[in-house]
């Protein structure tokens, strides 16, 4: 059997371009819908674009001739699609360049060949530079050339490829840095993946941008010493690590925490006592640390550096003793909940996980394994089913959880938005590993693991979520109701539906 049934001029039989036939609306031969615009006329009749698209993307073994090829023909009696020859479709789908039988783009070229031509057009011809030639190959070996064709239609992508092609932007990390944006990062990732650019640490450049954003708009008394600290202590150290090929994720994370805490402290000092890093006293530091969560001790490094650089030689900050501290006070719990609610020191999922731990005394091992189905929305607001019955989630915690639900990370790698977990993992279909959540919260200074969960349970009993909300300045009208229930055992509290006032 001739694998290339060419006979009729394809222009007469296959309308490559949609054509409006306003006078007649024939139904599609496959789906039966009335179609003002048709994609092709084949022996079976006229085809709509959807059916045509499906037809020219179906490959397999033809049930009539047993050849492995494109199967655009209508299904046989068994419902199995057939090949061009057996269906007597008068069109040859072989690519005129590479001879692959597939849907045509740009005249009679397959998607891959059309993509290569399109990339060459944008790059000003077939590139000589190995990195760009490699980039074209890399984009064309992608298993979905059609999605790259669509991506390439974006004006930003076209501009980027043009400027890379004409040499305006060199194909280097530094060159790509001059055109920030998603298309650039996509290209950088491809270039790195295929060894066309060396791997570069992604945390360091983001950290540099983060410092600028963090310090923007601060009073000079606060901004200047922190910039010095960030630049001469942290950046120098982290750049050296990156240059040595070490991971900078952890160091960047703790540097951000130390900078954030130092900014908070210096702002407080500036506003409360009108003093600066240079005129700060030991009492100031002691007061600040004693009156807040353990993360406040993260200002220690700033004062170690301040002593070395003779900025302030009178203040010392002890290492935080969170790991040996036997229990958490109610004030610390409230301060932590406040921090998780409003802070920027950790990303939203970890803040929500920490909040569930501190608000409802749920151990992290259990928190990370919670399905989204335990959250419901009733007319009285959000409820969460931690026991057998749902319990109220007061504002502002409900909003934070809604916000998290709407933006759960890692869904792209998982089962899409059907992922059942409140905290999806980067591994498809799994929930976050408890160890990951513990590490992240522990590095923030929340040392609230299994052993101390009982202690949190007691704190929850004295001050359940609605009272926490009130203590933090929310919903005072519900305080009375919950105050009377505060003495009930936690199990009963968690196990009953509390009606709103
Ligand atoms: Zn159709
Ligand atoms: Zn066949
Ligand atoms: Zn081809």
Name the burial class of residue 55, with classes exposed (0-12), middle (13-18) and buried (19+) by CB atoms within 10 angstroms of its CB.
buried
Going from the Cα of 37 to the center of ligand 1, the distance in angstroms, rounded, reads 11
Going from the Cα of 31 to the center of ligand 1, the distance in angstroms, rounded, reads 4
Going from the Cα of 120 to the center of ligand 3, the distance in angstroms, rounded, reads 15
Task: Looking at the CA of 60, name the nearest ligand.
Answer: 2
Residues 85 and 20 in one domain: yes
Give the model confidence (pLDDT) of 177-190 as tens digits. Answer: 889 888 998 898 88
Q: Which residues contact 146 (CB under 8 A, 6 or more apart)?
A: 105, 111
Going from the Cα of 6 to the center of ligand 1, the distance in angstroms, rounded, reads 24
Domain final residue pick, 31, 64, 93: 93
Query: Which segment of 10-19, 82-91, 213-222 scores lowest on mean pLDDT?
Result: 10-19
Going from the Cα of 111 to the center of ligand 3, the distance in angstroms, rounded, reads 7
The residue among 64 and 22 whose pLDDT is bigger is 64
Going from the Cα of 38 to the center of ligand 1, the distance in angstroms, rounded, reads 9
Continuous segment of H or E residues that includes residue 356:
helix 348-360
- Asked if the structure places residue 102 within a domain, the reply is no
Domain final residue pick, 93, 120, 153: 93
- Asked if the structure places residue 170 within a domain, the reply is yes
Residues 211 and 285 in one domain: yes
Give the Cα separation of 483 and 181 in Å (integer): 51
Q: What is the pLDDT of residue 451?
A: 38
Residues 297 and 409 in one domain: no
Q: How many CB atoms lie within 10 A of CB 218?
A: 16
Residues 391 and 430 in one domain: yes
Please answer whether residues 155 and 216 qualify as being in contact, where contact means their C-beta atoms are separated by less than 8 angstroms: no
Going from the Cα of 136 to the center of ligand 3, the distance in angstroms, rounded, reads 15
Q: What is the pLDDT of residue 322?
A: 44
Residues 356 and 455 in one domain: yes
Residues 275 and 335 in one domain: no
Query: Which segment of 3-7, 71-75, 247-251, 302-306 scores lowest on mean pLDDT?
Result: 3-7
pLDDT at 36 over 90: no
Give the Cα separation of 260 and 343 in Å (integer): 10
Q: Please name the residue ranges forming H helices in 343-396.
A: 348-360, 364-367
Q: What is the pLDDT of residue 428?
A: 67
- Asked if the structure places residue 321 within a domain, the reply is no
pLDDT at 470 over 70: yes
Into how many domains does the chain fold? 4
- Asked if the structure places residue 314 within a domain, the reply is no
Give the Cα separation of 271 and 265 in Å (integer): 10
Residues 207 and 183 in one domain: no
β-bridge mates for residue 255, sequence order? none
Continuous segment of H or E residues that includes residue 392:
strand 391-392
DSSP structure string for 285-331: HHHHHHTS-GGGGGGHHHHHHHHHTTS--S---PPP-TTT-----HH
Residues 188 and 210 in one domain: no
- Asked if the structure places residue 143 within a domain, the reply is yes
Going from the Cα of 19 to the center of ligand 3, the distance in angstroms, rounded, reads 26
The distance from CA 259 to its chain's CA centroid, rounded to whole angstroms, is 24
Residues 77 and 134 in one domain: no
Going from the Cα of 47 to the center of ligand 1, the distance in angstroms, rounded, reads 5
Query: Which segment of 316-320, 333-337, 414-418, 488-492 scores lowest on mean pLDDT?
Result: 488-492
Main-chain dihedrals φ then ψ at residue 371, nearest 5 degrees: -85, 155
Length of the chain: 501
Q: What is the pLDDT of residue 327?
A: 61
- Asked if the structure places residue 176 within a domain, the reply is yes
Continuous segment of H or E residues that includes residue 397:
helix 397-406
| Structural domain boundaries, residue 161 | 110-193
Query: Which segment of 315-319, 353-357, 411-415 scores lowest on mean pLDDT?
Result: 411-415
Going from the Cα of 74 to the center of ligand 3, the distance in angstroms, rounded, reads 24
Going from the Cα of 132 to the center of ligand 3, the distance in angstroms, rounded, reads 20
- Asked if the structure places residue 198 within a domain, the reply is no
Q: What is the pLDDT of residue 448?
A: 54
Residues 215 and 77 in one domain: no
Going from the Cα of 317 to the center of ligand 1, the distance in angstroms, rounded, reads 73
pLDDT at 493 over 60: no
Please answer whether residues 344 and 253 qualify as being in contact, where contact means their C-beta atoms are separated by less than 8 angstroms: no
pLDDT band at 82 (very low <50, low <70, confident <90, very high): very high
Going from the Cα of 359 to the center of ligand 3, the distance in angstroms, rounded, reads 60
Residues 4 and 74 in one domain: yes
Residues 219 and 168 in one domain: no
Q: What's this model's pTM, rounded to 2 decimal places?
A: 0.45
pLDDT at 491 over 50: no
What's the mean pLDDT when you consider all of the chain? 80
Going from the Cα of 378 to the center of ligand 1, the distance in angstroms, rounded, reads 43
- Asked if the structure places residue 456 within a domain, the reply is yes
Going from the Cα of 182 to the center of ligand 3, the distance in angstroms, rounded, reads 29
Going from the Cα of 3 to the center of ligand 2, the distance in angstroms, rounded, reads 9
Going from the Cα of 190 to the center of ligand 3, the distance in angstroms, rounded, reads 22
Give the model confidence (pLDDT) of 390-400 as tens digits. Answer: 788 888 888 88
Going from the Cα of 147 to the center of ligand 3, the distance in angstroms, rounded, reads 16
Q: What is the pLDDT of residue 443?
A: 63
Give the model confidence (pLDDT) of 448-464 as tens digits. Answer: 554 355 567 777 777 78
Going from the Cα of 110 to the center of ligand 3, the distance in angstroms, rounded, reads 4
Going from the Cα of 104 to the center of ligand 1, the distance in angstroms, rounded, reads 19
């Amino acid at each position: 059997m001739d694998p290339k049934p060419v006979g009729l001029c394809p222009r007469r039989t296959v309308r490559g371009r949609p054509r409006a036939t306003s006078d007649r609306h024939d139904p599609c031969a496959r789906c039966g819908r009335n179609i003002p615009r048709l994609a092709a006329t084949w022996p079976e009749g006229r085809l709509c674009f959807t059916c045509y698209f499906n037809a020219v993307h179906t490959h397999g073994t033809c049930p009539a001739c047993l050849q492995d090829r494109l199967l655009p023909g209508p299904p046989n009696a068994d419902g199995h699609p057939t090949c061009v020859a057996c269906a007597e479709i008068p069109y040859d789908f072989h690519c005129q360049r590479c001879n692959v039988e597939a849907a045509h783009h740009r005249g009679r070229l397959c998607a891959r060949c059309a993509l290569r031509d399109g990339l060459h057009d944008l790059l000003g011809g077939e590139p000589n530079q190995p990195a760009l030639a490699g980039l074209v190959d890399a984009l064309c070996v992608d298993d979905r050339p059609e999605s790259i064709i669509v991506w390439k239609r974006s004006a930003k992508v076209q501009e980027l490829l043009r400027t890379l092609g004409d040499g305006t932007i060199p194909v280097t990390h530094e060159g790509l840095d001059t055109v920030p944006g998603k298309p650039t990062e996509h290209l950088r990732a491809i270039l790195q993946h295929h060894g066309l650019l060396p791997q570069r640490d992604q945390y360091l450049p983001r950290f540099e941008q983060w410092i600028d954003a963090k310090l923007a708009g601060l009073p000079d008394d606060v901004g200047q010493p922190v910039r010095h600290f960030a630049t001469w202590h942290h950046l120098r150290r982290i750049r050296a690590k990156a240059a040595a090929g070490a991971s900078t994720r952890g160091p960047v994370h703790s540097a951000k925490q130390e900078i954030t805490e130092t900014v908070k402290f210096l702002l407080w000092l500036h506003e409360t006592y009108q003093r600066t890093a240079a005129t700060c006293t030991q009492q100031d530091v002691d007061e600040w640390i004693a009156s807040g969560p353990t993360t406040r001790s993260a200002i220690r490094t700033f004062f170690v550096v301040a002593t070395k650089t003779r900025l302030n030689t009178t203040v010392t900050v002890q290492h935080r003793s969170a790991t040996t501290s036997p229990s958490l006070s109610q004030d610390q719990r409230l301060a932590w909940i406040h921090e998780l609610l409003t802070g920027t020191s950790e990303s939203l999922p970890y803040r929500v996980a920490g909040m569930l731990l501190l608000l409802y005394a749920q151990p992290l091992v259990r928190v990370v394994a919670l399905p989204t189905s335990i959250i419901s929305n009733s007319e009285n607001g959000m409820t969460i089913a931690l026991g057998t019955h749902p319990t109220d989630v007061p504002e502002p915690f409900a909003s934070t959880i809604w916000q998290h639900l709407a933006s759960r990370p890692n869904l792209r790698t998982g089962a899409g938005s059907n992922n059942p977990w409140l905290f999806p993992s980067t591994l498809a279909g799994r929930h976050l590993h408890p160890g990951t959540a513990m590490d992240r919260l522990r590095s923030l200074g929340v040392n609230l693991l299994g052993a101390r969960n009982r202690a949190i349970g007691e704190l929850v009993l004295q001050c359940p979520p609605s009272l926490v909300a009130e203590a933090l300045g929310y919903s005072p009208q519900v305080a009375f109701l919950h105050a009377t229930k505060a003495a009930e055992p936690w199990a009963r509290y968690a196990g009953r539906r509390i009606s709103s006032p």
